[in-house]
Amino acid sequence: MGGMIITERPHRNFYGRRKGKHLKKSHEVYLNEDLMALSPGLVSWESNPARHNLDLIEMFTGRDIWLEIGFGGGEHVIHQAFENPQVGIIGCEPYINGVAMLLGKIRKASVNNLKIHPGDVRDMFDVLPQSSISKAFLLYPDPWPKSRHHRRRFVTSEHLEPLARVLKSGAEFRVATDIPDYVRQTLEEVPNSGFDLIDQGAEPWNDWICTRYEQKALRENRTPHYLTFRRF
């Protein structure tokens, strides 16, 4: 497949910290023993800005491919991988403790249709072929609550336009958040980047599994919102 050269990359991140204070010994083992084999094979923009598109047909043997943007502790992405063995799923997460947690879940579930990029999803956008993804998830993203930080949210054109490029026509894009202002910005920004709003409300999707972030929101009396969009 054709290559591409990225000459510059905004330094502004839409996520927070990269690593917690410490890793469990078991998590260090998972990272050392399992991560490389589950990587989609790309390198970060910082180490090599000239990269080739991924060969997704070879990677997932012709399956439909889904993408989860920031999988947190991995509860949802492992659930979807286990329940949908007929698809291939790529999960991106810059927080290394969350990556280690997912690796442990993969060992227990024994799924073989999941790849992990332990970093910025923008690296993935750079190497995914156009119109290659059938479904995408953005679940409880970093809310960046301060007004001056709203431009860091994922739901801006800086991130939505590359997402739209890699999604197939008709692909579904799901967003879950417990932050009312994030809902507002999502409803304003996503349709402007090539999506139709299909549904919004307080009821989750039929195949939903409650994540640790949603459990925290419910404990703190915040209302989850579930938004569904479709790529033009």
Q: Where are the alpha helices (DSSP H) in the chain?
A: 25-38, 56-60, 75-83, 96-109, 121-127, 157-166, 180-189, 212-219
Using DSSP, state whether 214 is helix, strand or coil: helix
Q: Single out the residue of 148, 166, 161, 156 nearest to residue 65, CA to CA.
A: 166
Yes or no: say if 132 and 125 are a contact pair by the CB < 8 Å rule: no
The Cβ of residue 131 has, within 10 Å, a number of other Cβ atoms equal to 14
Say which amino acid occupies 178.
D
Which two structure tokens, joined as six digits, stand for 85? 């063995």
User: Which residues participate in catalysis according to the annotation?
Assistant: 142
Q: Report the C-alpha gap between 192 and 186 in whole angstroms.
A: 10
Angle between the N-to-C axes of helices 96-109 and 75-83, in degrees from 0 to 180, rounded to the nearest 10: 30
